[in-house]
Each structure stands twice: as C-alpha cells, then as structure tokens.
Amino acid sequence: MCKKISEATPRDSVRGRVSAAVTLRHFLLAAMTWGVLLAAGTAHATISCSVSGNGFTSVYDPISTVPNDNVSSVTINCSRASGDPTTTTYSLASTNGLYPQGQNNRARYSTSNYLKYDIYKDASYSSRWGPSGSAPFTGTLNFGSGTSASLTLPYYNRVSAQQSAVAADYTDTMTTTLTYSVTSGVNATATPATMPVIITTNPQCQFSTPPGTMSFSYTSFQTTAATGSSQFATRCTSGLPYTMSLGATSGTLLGLAYSLSLSAAGGTGTGAAQTYSVNGSIAANQVGVCATSACTAAAPQTLTISY
C-alpha cells in the first residue's frame, strides 16, 4: 500500500504543472488582445490640416506721400475620416519676420538699410496680424458631410510712406503657424509655412517744394543791381545722385536783361527734403522799356531734376 501511494504523488504533480502552464498562456493572450484594442482606439482621430501662402511683393516709391498698400492671402486645407468630428477650430499666427523692430516688421537690404512694413487682418488696416497669443486669425472650419475643407484668408500689407530707402530689393520672411483641434480638448500643430516678402524700391526724385515766383523791383538807370531768390526743395531716394538745370539762365523783360543761377548743380538723395534756391539779378544802369509810370512783365522758366 505504501508503494502505491508514493507512485501516485508524482503523476498528480505533473498534471498540476501542465494545468498552470495552460492558464498562463490564456492570460498572455488576453493581455495581447487588450493592447491591440487600446492602440486602435488611440489612432481613431485623423483630422489633419496644413497651411500655405505666397507672401507678397511690392514696388515702393519712397517719395510718395501715401502708404504702399496691397493684399495677399493664406490658405488652410484640412481633411478628416468619416467618423471624425465635422468641425475643427483653428488659430493661425504670424511672426513679425526676421528683422522686427517693436511691433513693426522690417524688410532688409543691408545691415543699415531697412523698410518698415506691417501686416493686418482687415482692409481698414486697424487690426494687426501677429504672433500666437496676441493677434492670430481664429475661427471654425466646417466639413459639413464631406471629408475635406479649405479656407482662404486675405491679409493686408502696408509699407508706410516716405521712408528713407536706397534703390534695391528689400527682403524678409514671414512664418505662419496653424494650431487646430483634432478632438475635444486635443489640438495639433501643422508644419509652419514660410512666406517670402520682397519690396523693390526704384530710384525716384521729386520737387517736394516747387520754386515760387521770383520778383524784381527795378528803376531805370539805377546804380545797383536788383536781386531776387526763390527757394525749392527736392526729395530723392537715399544714395541716388542727381543733377539740376534751368531751361534758360538769362532773358529779357521790359527791355531789362536778367540772369538766373542755381545754388547747387545737384546732390545725392537722403530720402529727406533737401533745400536749394534759384537766384537772379538785373544788372545796374539799364534803361528798360515802359510807356507809363510803372510796368510789369513775367516769363515762365523750367527747372529740371535728372537722375
């Protein structure tokens, strides 16, 4: 009897180990199934958005008294799976470019030559478009029953008037960042879009103050010359050399010979007004022609800037 009992014990032990191994395999299989289901739930939301824009180019006249304004646009494109939300909220921010100064964007030609420009969200140029947290575009994009949607947002560029500038291409790069909702409480950020800015300044000159009338008072046979002067001002692109000339440097009125000259033959533009004068004289001891006690006469003259 003792031998039978001792032979039965090892067989029972083997059965116990086999049963335990089977139970362990079932546990591992259950754990693997749970892991696959969890991963599938996390990957369900598939809303994806991108942003693109072309930046803007502008030809700037630095001597104009009005700002240089133009409009450009940026586009948001989004897609979703059929089971995803039908709307996504967005926030589209813009940097102040590579060379900002305070709130102003600046395009650069060289380390000492910049042009200020600003970006606005509205055609009245009252609401700036700026970085996240200050002045981004915000809103909701609606897919409706579709799986894709897009939105084009215009933005408005202003280069302020009468900045000192050389004739050159001024460049900058704006960067826009799009943040959008994927599901409730979950946001994603699209790859930032870079948009080039090119502001071309052409050489320009103008009379910011034109010359006025030069008047002489002369009495026949007077022993001293009569003189007169009229001031004017030019405004030319910075660094731009220019010359000035009169259509005539002499003439005759009422039988009196007169001469004209300029205070300078030319200059180099600074972007600001530069003042000169036209000077004139009537030599002494001239008789003149006048049948009454007093006579008047006038003649137009031409002043030209060449650059």
Span 87-128, pLDDT tens digits: 999 999 999 999 999 888 999 999 999 999 999 999 999 999
Q: What is the pLDDT of residue 132?
A: 67
Domain that holds residue 139: 48-201
Q: Which band of pLDDT confidence, cut at 50, 70 and 90, is reported for residue 131? A: confident
Please list, in sequence order, all residues whose beta carbon lies within 8 angstroms of the beta carbon of residue 18, skipping any fewer than 6 positions away: none
Residue 122 inside a domain? The answer is yes
| pLDDT surpasses 50 at 15 | no
Most confident range (mean pLDDT) of 9-13, 43-47, 129-133, 278-282 is 278-282
Average pLDDT over residues 129-146: 90
Task: Assess whether 58 and 148 both reside in one domain.
Answer: yes
Are residue 268 and residue 171 in the same domain, yes or no?
A: no
- Rounded to an integer, the average pLDDT of 131-145 is 89
Q: Are residues 187 and 231 in the same domain?
A: no
Whole-number pLDDT of residue 161: 93
Confidence of residue 46 (pLDDT cuts 50, 70, 90): confident
Per-residue confidence (pLDDT) for residue 102, from 0 to 100:
86
Q: How confident is the model at residue 40 (pLDDT cuts 50, 70, 90)?
A: very low
Identify the H or E element spanning 10.
Answer: helix 2-42
Q: What is the pLDDT of residue 34?
A: 39
Q: Which among 209, 304, 221, 210 is positioned nearest to 265, based on CA atoms? A: 304
Q: Is residue 148 part of a domain?
A: yes
Same domain assignment for residues 247 and 197: no
- Number of structural domains in the chain: 2
Helix (H) or strand (E) holding 2: helix 2-42
Determine which of 60-64, 147-151, 283-287 has the lowest per-residue pLDDT on average: 60-64
Residue 190 falls inside a structural domain: yes
- Rounded to the nearest integer, the mean pLDDT of the chain is 86
| CATH code of 155's domain | 2.60.40.1090
Mark which of 151, 176, 201 sits at the end of a domain.
201
Is 2 a member of any domain? no
Burial letters 207-219, b for 16+ CB under 10 A, else e: ebeebeebeeebe
State whether 241 and 269 are in the same domain.
yes
Q: Is residue 240 part of a domain?
A: yes
Q: Based on the domain organization, do 54 and 193 belong to the same domain?
A: yes
pTM: 0.69
* 148 and 264 belong to one structural domain: no
Do the beta carbons of residue 81 and residue 206 sit within 8 Å?
Answer: no
Same domain, 209 and 197: no
Residue 121 lies in a domain: yes
**121 shares its domain with 264:** no
Last residue of a domain, one of 145, 178, 201: 201
Last residue of a domain, one of 181, 201, 221: 201
Domain annotation covers residue 108: yes
